[in-house]
Amino acid sequence: MKKTFVLFFVLLITGTLFCQSFHVSKIEPGNWWAGMKHNKIQLMIYGENLSNYKASFNTSRIKVEKIYNLANKNYSFIDISISRTISPGDYKIVFSKGKNKIQIDYPIHKRESASGKYQGFNSQDIVYLIVPDRFADGDTSNNKIEGMINDFKPGDPLARHGGDLQGIINHLNYFNNLGVTSLWLTPVLENNHNISYHGYAATNLYKIDPRLGTNELYKRLVNDAHKDGLKIIFDHVNNHISTNHPWVKNLPTPDWFNGTQENHINAWHDKAVRWDIHGEQITSEHLTKGWFVNDMADLNQDNPFVKNYLIENTIWWIEYSGIDGIREDTYPYISPKFSAEWAKEVLNEYPTFNIVGEVWTGEPAFLAPYQKDSKLNTGLNTNLPVITDFALRDAYDGYLSGKSGLYNIYNVLAKDYLYQNPNELLTFVDNHDMPRAMFRADRNVDKVKLVFTHLLTSRGIPEIFYGTEIGMVGNKEDGVIRSNFRGGFPGDSSSAFTYNGRTQKENELFSFFKKLIEIRKKYKSLSEGKLNHLAPIENVYIYTKKYKNETMLILLNGDNSAKEIDGNIIESVCGKSPKLLDVMNNTQQKIINGKLPLQSMSANILLVE
């Protein structure tokens, strides 16, 4: 009897000690910075048996405000406040539970100089969109990483091809030669997920995908780009993560996601429902609570822990890397209240920063309310400065494909009264989610030149998709649309990065883009000027851009036949007997016998002297 009692007592004590033991495996964010406006942060603690513990720092400058015990003891959260007078240094957070203590380093870094960082982007910029996996392979050693899904299959359009951050760094001179000013890279965070070379299925929100590089290499890319006068735009995703993310198999809280992998609703891809005054609540819920696709878990931003995590993660990346802007993916599918607070927090910390939200709808009336201070949105101010102009893109596509003429382009711009600031729209002809311009134009180079002339001389912030400047064609399939840039990969027979490596047709198109960008930079009326236009007649679109004493006259003839423009029309918008300099060709254009001749399918940029 005594032996049984002693054994029971030993087991009881051992069990009690085991229950009291705990383990901390990770803290996110893993550091912060001294002197931040955002100095009250919430730490996410990962480990085992994380309940009923105490925590403190080895400095009075960091105060633990609250510890949250969760039903899932693999996670906990701690609210801390960091004194604005704290000195940078290596501090420690001390966890204790009973007699057990754990000490973990928690660095508070010194903020680097903000000079040349967080610059934002505006209508003076030309954004160049890159899918890193398909641009250039600068480090072949990281094409396969132990412990990660091996989908390196260069011949498969839906697999990884090996492009990486080093490849982009190696070709910074190419961007300067072309003349673009900002690089938008599709997401670069860890995507340990099948068919996610594109980057939109994150499995770690604090780590660059090892097949692209490291956190340190990404920071180097930003620094090197800044030295070369280039800005970096970070493609960010608040809406969803990969179903391979550890959270999916081990939920921090039951409502961490909107539904579960086994039981969820699908998103209705109709952004109009946000502003539909007749819409049923279920319709709105399908937009913000539905899963975008089944293998991307929909984050519940209305959960306060998720909300804080995403805001702090965003600020962490901006501060760590020094990026200049964010392109926010699938913007309408995110909780509106969260998105407004997220943008406010980011722009409060970085007033010169900028954010563009992806709103995929071709209706200006549905696009406009997403922009901050919108006259059409009297409810919650989105605080979102820039939105994607899919309406203009659709009009471009209609012209390229032959479904419509230039009037549709004019018609979209005629609705600019709906926007709070039409110059704060990201404008584009094609991107990584849709067929390329050359494919839609059936390889008609003149059509492509015409729409890009409009893109770079109209209002807004223009974006060019990588390879468009050399006439990459592709087809309707995502993996082929995002084909490799020739010359960036081992075994390529020639390099489109160089004049000698490009074909004659590629050099012709490259030279056109380079010249057009130079003209845009030289004449501020093209990027900052006031737009005035005439309704197109016979597929001829006439408009002016005016800035201070500078006036540009742009004439687009989208017809297959030559035209003659009545000189009275020209004089009505440019003044009597104007002198007209064709800035692309440096030649004088004259009104002859009361007419200004236009070649078929031509774009003319004329400086009014």
For every residue of 368-420, DSSP letters joined together read GGGSTT-TT--SS-----EEE-HHHHHHHHHHHTTSS-THHHHHHHTTGGGSS
* DSSP three-state, residue 332: helix
C-alpha distances in angstroms, 266 versus 238, 348, 360?
17, 34, 17
Q: Which amino acid is at 457?
A: T
Q: Please give the structure tokens belonging to residue 265.
A: 């609703």
Distance CA 182, CA 233 (A): 7
Q: Please give the structure tokens belonging to residue 40.
A: 């009250």
**Phi and psi dihedrals of 280, rounded to 5?**
-80, 150
Instruction: Please report the pLDDT score of residue 392 as a whole number.
Output: 98
Integer-rounded Cα radius of gyration of the chain: 28
Enumerate the β-bridge partners of residue 100. Answer: 97
Specify the residue for token string 């993916």.
329
Instruction: Please report the pLDDT score of residue 269 as a whole number.
Output: 66
Task: Find out whether 165 and 212 touch, Cβ atoms under 8 Å.
Answer: yes
Task: Find out whether 349 and 318 touch, Cβ atoms under 8 Å.
Answer: yes
Q: Please give the structure tokens belonging to residue 469.
A: 């400047």
Distance CA 451, CA 272 (A): 27
Instruction: Please report the pLDDT score of residue 17 as a whole number.
Output: 41
Distance CA 112, CA 334 (A): 32
Task: Find out whether 359 and 271 touch, Cβ atoms under 8 Å.
Answer: yes
Task: Find out whether 91 and 146 touch, Cβ atoms under 8 Å.
Answer: no
Task: Find out whether 488 and 136 touch, Cβ atoms under 8 Å.
Answer: yes
Enumerate the β-bridge partners of residue 463. Answer: 127, 428
Interhelix angle 215-227/304-321, nearest 10 degrees = 50
Q: Please give the structure tokens belonging to residue 96.
A: 């204790």
User: Which residues, 6+ apart, have CB-to-CB distance to 537 below 8 Å?
Assistant: none
H-only helix segments in 243-328: 246-249, 281-288, 304-321
Bridging pattern class, strands 602-608 and 550-557: antiparallel
Residues of the chain with pLDDT under 70: 1-20, 269-271
C-alpha distances in angstroms, 292 versus 157, 186, 249, 310?
22, 17, 19, 18
Distance of CA 356 to the CA centre of its chain: 7
Distance CA 10, CA 382 (A): 61
For 600, other C-beta atoms within 10 Å of its C-beta total 12
Bridging pattern class, strands 127-130 and 587-589: unpaired
In the DSSP assignment, the letter for residue 293 is: B
Distance CA 579, CA 563 (A): 20
In the DSSP assignment, the letter for residue 160 is: B
Distance CA 222, CA 312 (A): 20
Bridging pattern class, strands 40-48 and 62-69: unpaired
Instruction: Please report the pLDDT score of residue 14 as a whole number.
Output: 39
Q: Please give the structure tokens belonging to residue 407.
A: 């009037």
**Phi and psi dihedrals of 171, rounded to 5?**
-120, 25
Catalogue the active-site residues.
Answer: 329, 358
Return contacts of 407-410, CB within 8 angstroms, 24+ apart.
407/535, 407/536, 407/539, 407/541, 409/454, 409/541, 410/533, 410/535, 410/536, 410/541
Q: What is the mean pLDDT of the chain?
A: 95
Bridging pattern class, strands 75-82 and 89-97: unpaired
